[in-house]
Amino acid sequence: MKTMILLVEDEVDLGNVVKQYLEIMDFEVTLMNNGKVALEHFKLNKNKYDILLIDISMPEMDGFDLATHIVKLNKNMPFLFLTARNEKMDRLRGLKIGADDYIIKPFDIDELVLRIRNIIKRNTKPETMQRSLIEKGDVRFMKDSLQLFINGQKEIILTPRESELLDFLFRNENIILKREDILNQLWGDDDYFLGRSLDVFISRLRKYLNKSSYVSINNVYGVGFVFTVKQ
């Protein structure tokens, strides 16, 4: 089940870019450009979303006022602020309202994804966390928290895209995977630059998994890869 996000951002171009990238990362995103409209929408969908991303500087109703109303409607709803303002008083005000995090524009989109996943992790019940856990032999992978444990050694923290790729490989173990199929199914395209990125991610995951006696990534010359898991 996908993580549901309500993104409230009045900069249309930025909102669309963030929405598209989060959807590539397997989130489901509803984008709204107005705080008042977002509040009315949330009143009708109080239990639909897992987290809210709220811009602070918006006309009609700013992010602080929106968040204050959100907390009254659902005190357990996680949210973080997106803002171009880096003033201490603003950060303190946001945290006092109950924000789980506060990220300054311009921000790295992969950092935003990591912060979202960490917030979801902190607010997820143990039984739900169990569903995101994959264990195969000496490999223990927790997709939502980006954690990989191999042969009982110290945890490896994956990037969001490494985690997404590893999850895909576990869902398609012991079969030949064409490079173009991986790219299209994960990221919706198989252009040159995504292909080079895939090679980098595969190389990193292979390096991590070299310590495992049960799981490995093997090349199929001219075709793609096989994610081998011993039964």
Residues 139 and 203 in one domain: yes
Residue tagged 């006092």 (tokens): 96
Residues 156 and 79 in one domain: no
Q: Is the pTM of this model over 0.85?
A: no
Residue 106: DSSP 8-state: S
Tell me the C-alpha distance between 199 and 97, whole Å: 43
Number of domains making up the chain: 2
Name the residue range of residue 89's domain. 4-122
DSSP string, 37-100: HHHHHHHH-TTT-SEEEEES--SSS-HHHHHHHHHHH-TT--EEEEES---HHHHHHHHHHT-S
pLDDT tens sequence for the chain (231 residues): 678 999 999 999 999 999 999 998 889 999 999 999 999 999 988 888 999 999 998 888 999 999 999 999 988 889 999 888 777 787 788 888 888 888 888 888 888 998 898 888 777 655 444 457 888 899 999 887 788 999 888 789 888 788 889 998 998 999 999 988 888 887 777 677 777 888 889 999 999 999 999 999 998 888 889 999 987
